[in-house]
Amino acid sequence: MSLDLLTYLFIGGSFVLYIGIAIWARAGSTKEFYVAGGGVHPVANGMATAADWMSAASFISLAGLVSFIGRDGAAYLMGWTGGYVLLAMLLAPYLRKFGKFTIPDFVGDRYYSKTARLIAIICTIVISFTYVAGQMRGVGIVFSRYLHVDINTGVVIGMAIVFFYAVLGGMKGITYTQVAQYCVLILAFMVPAIFMSMQVTGHFLPQVGLGATLDSGLSVLATLDKLSIDLGFAEYTAGKKSTVDIFCLTAALMAGTAGLPHVIVRFFTVPRVKDARTSAGWALIFIAILYTTVPGVAGFGRVNLIQTINGADNAGTSYETMPTWFKNWENAGLLGWHDYNGDGKVQYAAGAAFNGAKGKPAYDGDARGEHGERAVTNAHANPTAKPGVPFANEVYVDRDIMVLANPEIAQLPNWVIALVAAGAVAAALSTAAGLLLVISTAIAHDLMKTIINPNISEKQELMYARLAAVVAICIAGYFGINPPGFVAQVVALAFGLASSSVFPVIVMGIFNKRMNKEGAIAGMCVGLGSTMAYMIYFTFMGGDKADLFLGISTGGFGAIGMVLNFIVAYVVSMMTPPPPAEIQEIVENIRVPRGAGQAHAH
């Protein structure tokens, strides 16, 4: 069976499954729309949480990112998995016992302030929109390759699918859809990983493959180091970022994970407080299956990519003899080649592949390469080429294609390639749906119902939630079509915003009885404001990287914003009156284990 037909069957079959579940589990009340009625089994909720958590960044972009930056990619692995432990142990059970299912709800009640609630709503919406942009971009990348449409059309198709089951089913439909999506995405990630591990190293488990010895007598990591040095790259196992930057990036990702609104809300879909902790444990197991596999997939993919493009002797491969996968991804605009020296060979090395200045190819498309350059499509001929002139780098590779292209590069069966496509779509759509629901909840429940018009009926609130989801999908689609960077980079910005804004206010709200509304409001404003300003200046306004504070990247600055939030909140709270006695009693109560088997709502 042809690859196209298999892809249509796998993706189409998964869509039918998701939509069928959404219809079966459609929400009939606001409680079912927001928290699935609070009756989801902990294991099912763990799978749904894992699918919600493992977005397009985890499935599509993380292995590609590690593949290109090597050891520094460990910051993402440590931050995202460590943050989940932090969330499960430090926040989830207490928030569940408090009984409020959104961050603005918690902040508004804990800090007895509509202003604090409003700022929390703004933080939630900013975080969620930044995060969802990466998911819609991931959907567009998958569809552009496998459905033979451009990336923008792919984003629109993804919007239509998410619209159907998120707006109709709410959290109830999304939860059971995400259980199915987890099964699809983990199967789609592990099957090619096992194939590649067997092919490259002879080991069945990809988690241990990096240390395996190849026919050359070198391990996979040593082979990568040698290939990287030969082609002008830094050693794969060498760190390129400063220790300070790595520390801040890891801390920002960790705290950001614990402050993500769409993950926190999942702990309100289970019946009891202890179920929240149990489902967190299951989710961590389900997440670890993929995350422990990522380094192997990244390493195997990088070796295969370099050796396929440059040939066994690194002398380059004739374009006419390049495998079909190269031309397929080239046609999708996510890979490009320009024959600088006119020798007809495709040659991959360190350096920016394309530069719009000095008569070199013009930019075309939105995808960015490992050095930030944009892709060009079919820029092959070079009329000014001088045969025999040494080449720099002639190949543009978008790092977001690595996981998707790996099965083709490794010449795995067509059904494996089609399975990966279905898994990538499942990963992106599951997280997108969860984020869109958070946005609609923040607008309908926290803004309309709680602040603007408390007298609206449940039916009206549900209508506002669905209308908000429609608007959110349209805005998310726009950012998917016009992204600020590659998928994992965009998602890292969302984690930085979460770590600097909502994480400190939740931690202090649980563990500091003296924290008052003035401190919380000041802390959130300073944390979110400083982090957004830093990100906007260096990401969108072209700020000189030499001016980075202590060399900290935009993704890592969330850790600095978090520290500023904690300091400002504490100082302001000490200079202003303490919270009312009943609020301090609530804070004391949520930390007491008595009655932990049953949620205590206020």
CA distances to 17, 437, 457, 458, 493 from 454, rounded to whole Å, are 38, 20, 9, 10, 34
Cβ burial 468-477 (10 Å sphere, 16+ → b, else e): bbeebbebbb
CB 508 within 8 A of CB 563: no
Q: Whats the size of the chain, residue-wise?
A: 602
Q: Tell whether 291 and 385 lie within a shared domain.
A: no
Q: Which of 55-64, 303-312, 417-426, 573-582 has the highest mean pLDDT?
A: 573-582
Report percent pLDDT > 70 for the chain.
Answer: 81
Are 389 and 431 in a shared domain?
no
Judge contact between 349 and 373, C-beta under 8 A.
no
For residue 569, is it within any domain? no
pLDDT of residue 571: 94
From 86-90, 274-278, 392-396, 597-601, the region with the lowest mean pLDDT = 597-601
- Do both 199 and 273 map to the same domain? yes
Q: Residue 568 above 90 pLDDT?
A: yes
- Give the residue from 90, 85, 124 showing the smallest Cα distance to 107: 124
At residue 468 the predicted structure's pLDDT band, cuts being 50, 70 and 90, is confident
Could you report the per-residue pLDDT of 44-62, keeping only the tens digit for each? 888 888 877 776 667 777 8
Q: Residue 63: give its domain's CATH number.
A: 1.20.1730.10
Lowest mean pLDDT among 48-62, 164-178, 382-396, 419-433: 382-396
* pLDDT for 36: 47
Contact between 55 and 186 under an 8 Å Cβ cutoff? The reply is no
Q: Could you tell me if 7 and 51 lie in one domain?
A: yes
Confidence at 171, pLDDT banded by 50, 70, 90: low
- pLDDT bin (cut points 50, 70, 90) of residue 574 is very high
Same domain, 419 and 451: yes
| Residue 564 within any structural domain of the chain | no
Weakest-pLDDT range from 24-28, 84-88, 473-477 = 24-28
Residues with Cβ within 8 Å of residue 268, at least 6 apart in sequence: 34, 35, 38, 95, 96, 101, 276
Q: Is residue 217 part of a domain?
A: no
DSSP 444: I
CA nearest 202: which of 192, 213, 217? 213
Domain final residue, candidates 467, 495, 523: 495
User: What's the rounded Cα separation, in Å, for the pair 182 and 427?
Assistant: 8
With 50 as the cut, is the pLDDT of residue 359 above it? Answer: no
Confidence band of 281 (pLDDT split at 50, 70, 90): confident
- Position 594 pLDDT exceeds 90: no
Q: Quote the tokens at residue 196.
A: 């590649």
Regarding whether 390 and 327 lie in a shared domain, the answer is yes
The strand ranges marked E within 255-370 are 317-318, 335-337, 345-346
Report d(CA 431, CA 416) in Å as an integer: 23
Task: For residues 233-254, give the mean pLDDT.
Answer: 84
- The token duo for 308 is 């396929």
Exposure on the CB side of residue 178, measured as CA atoms within 13 A: 36
pLDDT tens-digit profile of 401-454? 778 888 888 888 888 888 888 888 777 776 777 777 777 777 777 777 777 777
Model-wide pTM > 0.85: no
* CB 394 within 8 Å of CB 337: yes
Q: What is the 3-state secondary structure (H, E, C) of 231-270?
A: CCCCCCCCCCCCHHHHHHHHHHHHHHHHCCHHHHHHHHCC
CB atoms within 10 A of CB 243: 9
Which band of pLDDT confidence, cut at 50, 70 and 90, is reported for residue 573?
Answer: very high
Give mean pLDDT, residues 547-562. 84
The domain boundary, picked from 495, 521, 552, lies at 495
Q: Looking at per-residue confidence, does 38 or 326 come out higher?
A: 326
Supply the Cα-derived Rg of the chain in whole angstroms: 24
pLDDT at 570 over 90: yes
Boundary of a domain, candidates 472, 495, 518: 495
Q: Predicted confidence band at 170 (pLDDT cuts at 50, 70, 90)?
A: low
- C-alpha to C-alpha distance for 520 and 72, rounded to whole angstroms: 34
Mean pLDDT of the chain: 76
User: What pLDDT score does 588 carry?
Assistant: 82
Are 61 and 206 in the same domain?
yes
Whether the predicted pLDDT of 537 surpasses 90: no
User: How far is Cα 327 from Cα 102, in angstroms, rounded to an integer?
Assistant: 47
Do 193 and 284 lie in one domain? The reply is: yes
My answer on whether 280 and 184 are in the same domain is yes
Q: What is the pLDDT of residue 567?
A: 95
How confident is the model at residue 458, as a pLDDT?
72
Residue 295 falls inside a structural domain: yes
φ and ψ at 486, to 5 degrees?
Answer: -75, 165
Q: How many CB atoms lie within 10 A of CB 49?
A: 34
- Give the range of the structural domain holding residue 110, as residue numbers without chain letter: 3-211+247-301+407-495
Q: Is 295 in the same domain as 316?
A: no
Which amino acid is located at 127 in the chain? I
Lowest mean pLDDT among 32-36, 190-194, 361-365, 432-436: 361-365
Same domain membership, residue 328 and residue 282:
no
Whether residue 135 has pLDDT greater than 60 = yes
In terms of C-beta distances under 8 Å and separation of at least 24 residues, what long-range contacts does 515-518 make, across chains too? 515/111, 515/569, 515/570, 515/573, 515/579, 516/111, 516/573, 516/576, 516/577, 516/578, 516/579, 517/111, 517/112, 517/113, 517/115, 517/116, 517/579, 518/572, 518/573, 518/576
DSSP3 helix / strand / coil % (the chain, rounded to 5): 70, 0, 30
User: What's the pLDDT score for residue 264?
Assistant: 74
Is residue 566's pLDDT more than 90?
Answer: yes
Mean pLDDT throughout 255-260?
81
> Which is more confident, 487 or 81?
81
CB 137 within 8 A of CB 367: no
CB burial of residue 46 (10 Å; 0-12, 13-18, 19+): buried
Residue 593 resides in a domain: no
Q: Name the residue among 147, 145, 153, 137 with its Cα closest to residue 328.
A: 145
Choose from 44-48, 389-393, 396-400, 571-575 the range with maximum mean pLDDT. 571-575
Alpha-carbon gap, residue 60 to 141, rounded angstroms = 9
- Whether 345 is in a domain gets the answer yes
Q: Which of 124-128, 186-190, 588-592 has the lowest mean pLDDT?
A: 588-592
Task: Please tell me the distance from the alpha carbon of residue 534 to that of residue 496, in angstroms, as a whole number.
Answer: 11
Taking the C-alpha atoms of residue 537 and residue 549, their distance in angstroms, rounded to an integer, is: 12
539, part of any domain: no
Instruction: For residues 581 and 128, give the distance between their C-alpha atoms in angstroms, rounded to a whole number.
Output: 34
Backbone angles phi, psi at 386, to 5 degrees: -115, 110
CB within 8 A of 19, min separation 6: which ones?
161, 164, 165
According to the model, what pLDDT value does residue 101 have?
64
pLDDT score, position 564:
94
Q: How many Å apart are CA 326 and CA 408, to the nearest integer? A: 9
Average pLDDT over residues 344-356: 69
- Does the structure show a pLDDT above 80 at 490? no
The arithmetic mean of pLDDT across residues 503-516, rounded, is 89
Q: How far apart are CA 144 and CA 146, in angstroms?
A: 6
Q: Is the per-residue pLDDT at 365 higher than 70?
A: no
Residue 306, C-beta contacts closer than 8 angstroms, at least 6 positions apart? 227, 231, 314, 348
How far, in Å, CA of 520 to CA of 536, rounded?
24
48 inside domain: yes
Question: Is-contact 369 397, C-beta < 8 A?
Answer: yes
Residue from 414, 474, 415, 476 nearest 56 by CA: 476
Query: Does residue 470 register a pLDDT over 90?
Result: no
Report which DSSP code applies to 213: B
Out of 275-289, 343-357, 552-566, the most confident range is 552-566
Question: Do 384 and 451 fall within a single domain?
Answer: no
Q: How many domains does the chain have?
A: 2
* Dist. CA 552–CA 558, nearest whole Å: 10
Assess contact for 575 and 517: CB atoms under 8 A. Answer: no
